[in-house]
Amino acid sequence: MARVASPCTDPVVLDMWHPISAAAEIKPGRVHTTRLLGSPVSYTLDGDGQPVVWRADPALRPGMPVDAARITERLPVIDRFCFIWTSYGDPPDRLFSIPEFDESDRRTFAAASIGVHTSAPRAVENFLDMGHFPYVHTGILGVEPHTEVVEYDVDITEDNEVLATRCLFYQPLAALAATKGQMTEYTYRVPHPYVAMLYKTAPPDPSRLDAIAIFVQAVTEEQIVAHNFLCMVDHTNTDSELKIFQQKIFGQDKPIIENQMPRRLPLAPRAETPIRADKSSITYRRWLSDLGITYGVVPEAA
């Protein structure tokens, strides 16, 4: 247990950007505290509404008023895709891109930030899997007997992202805006070791794609907060309805990922037997290995 909760020493992970809160959920001038990579961090919004993040100080307890101007030892921070991101190390100048985020008619928001007993890579891997749809999201994202995961492509892009394309699956209720079952085409992206995104046909306008992501905050190696992000083409349902739909789907996944043991993701190729449908998972695990990630995984024996 001590190892699991102790502060992260993985240099690759320390240098990454990490999501810590939906921007809309921060009360200006109040201390908020969460845990990231085994250590507590605090954050608030300053007088101009800009986020400020610092290593937690026991004297500044959650909920207390704070004058952000007096916080001098700050951690790097960016406000992007409806969330606040920080880093303990030397993060890249920019976060990955989501071009759809800037399309003016999109509905973009934080759907919910939910704590889960698992590692960040386990949550990302589950998000990439289609094989579980008929069994876990029965009647919504899949239904028996339509259980086949047909051949799809997985590549590492020039920007060093995992990209799975031509992923086809029969879905009875692909989105809240769907009125009937459809073959849905998915594209999956892993633009960051702890972020998984999917693009899928938007039922109201089949020429466009809804974008859904989980931005994973690694609280410890085996405890996460999954920040759900939506970027939708849907002009019928309310924000609240879209959020609840996403929460329902995520709530169905939760016991599945919490029961995967070990909680850290094994990277050795033979640690867990993959099948053809797990092609994106195999690529993701190999990619994490190549990046040298050791936090939240069981590294391959040297």
For 13, list phi and psi in degrees, rounded to 5: -70, -40
244 lies in the site for other proteins, by CB under 8 A = yes
For 5, the enclosing helix (H) or strand (E) is helix 2-5
Site string for other proteins, 212-241 (x = CB under 8 A): -------------x--------------xx
Residue 141 binds other proteins (CB under 8 A): no
Nearest to 226 by CA among 202, 262, 258, 189: 258
Q: Which of 165, 187, 237, 252 binds other proteins (CB under 8 A)?
A: 252
User: Letter for the amino acid at 244?
Assistant: I
145 binds other proteins (CB under 8 A): no
Min dist. Cβ of residue 259 to other proteins (A): 8
CB of 116 to other proteins, least distance (A): 7
Q: Which of 251, 208, 214, 252 is nearest to 230 (CA)?
A: 214
Closest CB 291 distance from other proteins, rounded Å: 29
> Binding of other proteins at residue 112 (CB under 8 A)?
yes
Footprint on residues 22-41 left by other proteins (CB under 8 A)? 22, 25, 34
Q: Can you tell me which of 80, 107, 117, 208 binds other proteins, judged by CB under 8 A?
A: 117
Please enumerate, as own/partner, the contacts of 97-102 that have beta carbons within 8 Å and a separation of 24 or more.
97/191, 98/197, 98/211, 98/213, 98/231, 100/209, 100/211, 100/231, 101/211, 101/231
Site for other proteins in 59-78 (CB under 8 A): 62
Residues 29-66 as b or e (16 or more Cβ within 10 Å = b):
eebbbbbbbbeebbbbbeeeeebbbbebeeebeeeeeb
Out of 11, 206, 255, 292, the residue judged to bind other proteins by CB under 8 A: 255
**For residue 63, what is the DSSP state?**
T
User: Are 165 and 280 a contacting pair, CB within 8 Å?
Assistant: no
Distances (CA, A) of 280 to 65, 96, 118, 192, 256: 46, 19, 19, 15, 18
Residue 215: alpha-carbon gap to chain centroid: 3
Q: Which stretch binds other proteins (CB under 8 A): 83-91, 109-117, 154-162, 278-286?
A: 109-117
Of 179 and 240, CB closest to other proteins: 240
Among 192, 200, 254, 285, binds other proteins (CB under 8 A): 254
Tell me the closest approach of the beta carbon of residue 204 to other proteins, in angstroms: 21
- Residue 25 or 102: the one with the smaller Cβ distance to other proteins is 25
Selected binder of other proteins within 11, 76, 92, 115 (CB under 8 A):
115
Positions touching other proteins (CB under 8 A) are 22, 25, 34, 62, 110, 112-117, 225, 240-241, 243-244, 247-252, 254-255, 258-259
